[in-house]
Amino acid sequence: MTENHQGANTRFVHAGQEFEPVTGAVVPPLHFSSTYAQDGIGGLRNGYEYGRGTNPTRDSLQAQLAGAEFGNHAFSFSSGLAAEDSLIRAVLRPGDHIVLGNDAYGGTFRLIDRVLGAWGIGNTPVDMGDEAALAAAIEKNQAKLVWVETPSNPMMKITDIAKVAEIAHAAGALLVVDNTFASPFLQQPLTLGADIVVHSTTKYIGGHSDVVGGAVIVKDAELAEKIGFIQFAVGAVSGPMDAFLTTRGLKTLGVRMRTHSENAAQVAQWLRERSEVERVLYPGFEDHPGHEIAKKQMSGFGGMVSVQFNGGESAARKIAESTKLFTLAESLGGIESLMNYPSEMTHASVKGTELAVPVNLLRLSVGIEDPADLIEDLEKAFTNL
Ligand SMILES: *Cc1c(COP(=O)(O)O)cnc(C)c1O
């Protein structure tokens, strides 16, 4: 059955979620078994053999993820970085090269540069908004993979996915989009020309800050075969409980994202009017440099807002340490509001590199609480400046 005519919420709720045939259980059961009885040697039941290879709870999540992103194949991993590592080792070999955005997530850059770099995979960070520089970097290094995050973390830069797909494909490279920030509710990169979508499902897809996971989603069967082989042969799979929680989260992604987006718009507007604030980075503002592209390729502007303070590093640190509803913590995308000081937290791993982030910047993951309460929390914190 093709799901492609269905709306996002219908796909999130139904893809891969057929009721259980024996009892009719509406929620597919959680399968913990690590192994499966064989009816004689080689007599597998429905292909199930061993839990690293296949597990019904993980299969259900993978079908749901594929449906969510308009892909044909999805692979669920134990973390976002495990997904990225398996993907890169599935499609590249030592000597191959990746061109990535110069504001990629710090952990992604650390993986590509320090871990995979030591195994002979090269990388060149570029400004994805500079088409000539991007094309030149792909050409010069004969890059096989282009890696984009949009909106980017934490600078909220917007990249034109369709445009970058065209440039990558013209040079024979594949385009990977890390769709963690937008989530499949707001943006579906495979429909815009991307070849591969990756997610940290720890964030909006899980949505409740109670499970770590990652995913890779593709349309192409040949790519899927390579990724499936590495998922099985390396084994960085998500466990059944993790898969179950992630499936439960993805079902409500749409309703959560709508509230995250509405709340973030209000918080961003409030911050922008404060004299203590130098700049608010939020793609929903008409004067954000990526606003028109965001409007074209996203169905909303999401729940993330970054803010820079006139009072420099000390102002950012004071606010980070004085809010009550916004919890100072790593991560994002959960129902509760979080605040992060990237230069010492999420992006500490890129300090001193060209991917370093400003020291007067805070990143807000705006939750689904009542926006008036969130703004009051910020207002009280601002009295400490
Ligand atoms: C968190 C994050 C990752 C890494 O995912 P983990 O689940 O923490 O391994 C990758 N990309 C982005 C954009 C992220 O926010």
Point out the domain boundary residue: 222, 251, 280: 251
- Which has more pLDDT, 347 or 197? 197
Q: Which of 69-73, 128-132, 255-259, 345-349 has the lowest mean pLDDT?
A: 345-349
**Averaged pLDDT for residues 347-368:** 89
Contact 337, 327 (CB under 8 A): yes
Three-state DSSP at 124 gives: strand
The H or E element containing residue 290 is none
- pLDDT surpasses 80 at 101: yes
Point out the domain boundary residue: 198, 217, 251: 251
- 56 with 82, same domain? yes
Contact 150, 180 (CB under 8 A): no
Rg of the chain in Å (alpha carbons): 21
Burial pattern 73-102, b for ≥16 Cβ within 10 A else e, equals bbbbbbbbbbbbbbbbbbbbeeebbbbbbb
- Which of 76, 77, 81, 245 should be mutated for ligand 1, with most atoms under 8 A from CB? 81
- pLDDT surpasses 50 at 3: no
- How many folded domains does the chain comprise? 2
Q: pTM for this one?
A: 0.96
- 109 with 168, same domain? yes
Q: Output the pLDDT for position 350.
A: 77
Q: Convert the pLDDT of each residue in 153-163 to its tens digit.
A: 899 999 999 99
What DSSP assignment string belongs to 257-272?
A: HHHHHHHHHHHHHHHH
Point out the domain boundary residue: 251, 285, 316: 251
Is 93 one of the catalytic residues?
A: no
Cα angle: 136, vertex 141, 147; to 5 degrees: 80
Please identify which of the residues 105, 204, 282, 341 carries the catalytic annotation: 105
Q: Output the pLDDT for position 356.
A: 83
Domain of 272, CATH number, reads 3.90.1150.10
Helix, strand, coil: what percent of the chain each, to 5? 40, 15, 45
Domain limits at 105? Answer: 8-251
Question: Residue 72: which pLDDT band, with cuts at 50, 70 and 90?
Answer: very high
Question: Residue 373: which pLDDT band, with cuts at 50, 70 and 90?
Answer: very high
For residues 17 and 15, give the distance between their C-alpha atoms in angstroms, rounded to a whole number.
5
- 119 with 167, same domain? yes
- pLDDT surpasses 90 at 78: yes
Q: Output the pLDDT for position 4.
A: 62
Q: Convert the pLDDT of each residue in 21-70 to its tens digit.
A: 899 999 989 999 999 999 999 999 989 999 999 999 999 999 999 999 99
- Closest by CA position to 20, among listed 54, 68, 59, 50: 59
Please identify which of the residues 157, 203, 256, 363 carries the catalytic annotation: 203
